[in-house]
Amino acid sequence: MQLPDSFVNEMNDFFTRHNEVPRDGFYESFDKVPLKGVRFSRSKITCSDKETEFLGDMNEEIKPVSWCSGGYYVNNEPGGRDPLYHAGVYYPQEPSAMLPAQVMAAKPGEIVLDLCAAPGGKACRLGEDMHGKGILVANEISFERSKALLRNIERSGIEGLVILNETPENIAARLPLFFDKILIDAPCSGEGMFRRDKNACKSYMNYGPKVCVPLQESILEAADKCLKEGGSIVYSTCTFCVDEDENQIKRFIERHPKYHVKAHPEIKGVTHAGADSILPGSMRIWPHMSEGDGHFCVHIVK
Residue among 36, 143, 138, 127 at smallest CA distance from 88: 127
Q: Which residues pair with 185 in a beta bridge?
A: 236
Q: Alpha-carbon distance 33 to 269, whole Å?
A: 18
User: What are the C-alpha distances in Å from 141 to residues 190, 207, 216, 219, 222?
Assistant: 18, 17, 14, 11, 13
Catalytic residue list contains 226: no
> Hey, is 271 helix, strand or coil?
strand
Task: Please give the biggest Cα pair distance in the chain.
Answer: 52
User: What are the C-alpha distances in Å from 222 to residues 184, 228, 250, 301?
Assistant: 11, 12, 17, 15
Residue among 124, 161, 165 at smallest CA distance from 146: 165
Q: Which of the following is catalytic: 201, 238, 241, 297?
A: 238
Q: Which residues contact 102 (CB under 8 A, 6 or more apart)?
A: 67, 68, 69, 125
The per-type count for the chain, helices as H runs and strands as E runs, is 10, 12
Residue 235: count other Cβ atoms within 10 Å of its Cβ: 25
CA dihedral over 229, 260, 284, 165, signed as positive or negative: positive
Q: Alpha-carbon distance 152 to 231, whole Å?
A: 27
C-alpha triplet 117, 272, 1: angle, nearest 5°: 70
Enumerate the active-site residues: 238
